[in-house]
Amino acid sequence: MQDDTFHDAVTERNPVTAPSSDPATALSSDPATGLSSDPATGHPRPPRREFKARGSFVTRCGGCHLPQLNCLCPYRVSATSEARVWLLTHPVEHFKPTNTGRLISDVLPDTEVFTWYRTVPDERLLALLEDSRYAPFVIFPDDQPDYADRVVGMESVTERQQGGRIPVFIILDGTWRQARRIFRKSPYLDRLPVLPLATQRLTRYRLRKPASAAHLCTAEVAIELLRQAGDATAAEVLDDYFDAFNDSYAASRRHHRLEAPTAAMRRLLVRRNPDA
């Protein structure tokens, strides 16, 4: 969950990652589905302008999506965790290179990423929600009374885990406004327990301006959840990877090459090459 008060740079014009347009119909084709119409109603999607913003012509690494000036790939380290993370991502977030949800996928290979559409839920997500192996929790603040009966604490995660089920943290990946819309407009989430993140952590995310220092970005939410759930190593790896991302991207915005690895980068290199 990230704040939207900063005008974010988006990916360069790339037919693989940016929305495409059907020249025959002048309709926007969604890259996740290839559809130029709403899959539920059949109504045409409105034309969408090509993404153009500050940073749109930067040459980026195809692996980490960061400017090649400070590629993050050398510091990518995989980790395992008892809990899983499923990202329900707003479509626009896929095209923002400053999105931190992809960092979770980089570190935790079992992470699932689903694109949210208001009218058509992802069928695979619906199937996984019915899978008895998993105990899913929607990560969302407990600030409204109409779902107070669904709010649980981290002890519920422990109970499900002790009962042999795999805890799943469903993180709504988007701005706070988008996350609230996803939460309110997704009936299949209504029956799931709501787990608010209780933490004293203040954001270290420097690439978008938050409304409050208490507003954590998506990766930071995952880090704190993993830590509280007992997946300390996974949380540490993701935290270092997040710091490396933060520093690399911030330096690239200033057109500055990092000449030496930061402390977080050095820790990641040791994990990646323990015998070096």
Q: Are 125 and 84 in contact (CB under 8 A)?
A: no
Q: Which residues of 111-138 are buried (b: 16+ CB within 10 A; e: fewer)?
A: bbbbbbbeeebbeebeebbeeeebbbbb
pLDDT tens for 163-189 read 999 999 999 999 889 999 999 999 999
What integer pLDDT is reported at residue 274 of this predicted model?
86
Q: How many CB atoms lie within 10 A of CB 275?
A: 3
Which of 275, 267, 274, 276 has its CA nearest to residue 75? 267
Could you give the count of Cα atoms lying within 13 Å of 101 in the half-sphere of its Cβ? 27
211: confidence class by pLDDT, cuts 50, 70, 90: low
What are the pLDDT digits (tens) for 5-41? 333 333 333 333 444 433 333 334 454 445 555 554 4
Maximum C-alpha span of the chain: 58
pTM: 0.81
The predicted-structure confidence for 111-152, as pLDDT tens digits, reads as follows 999 999 999 999 999 999 999 999 999 999 999 999 999 999
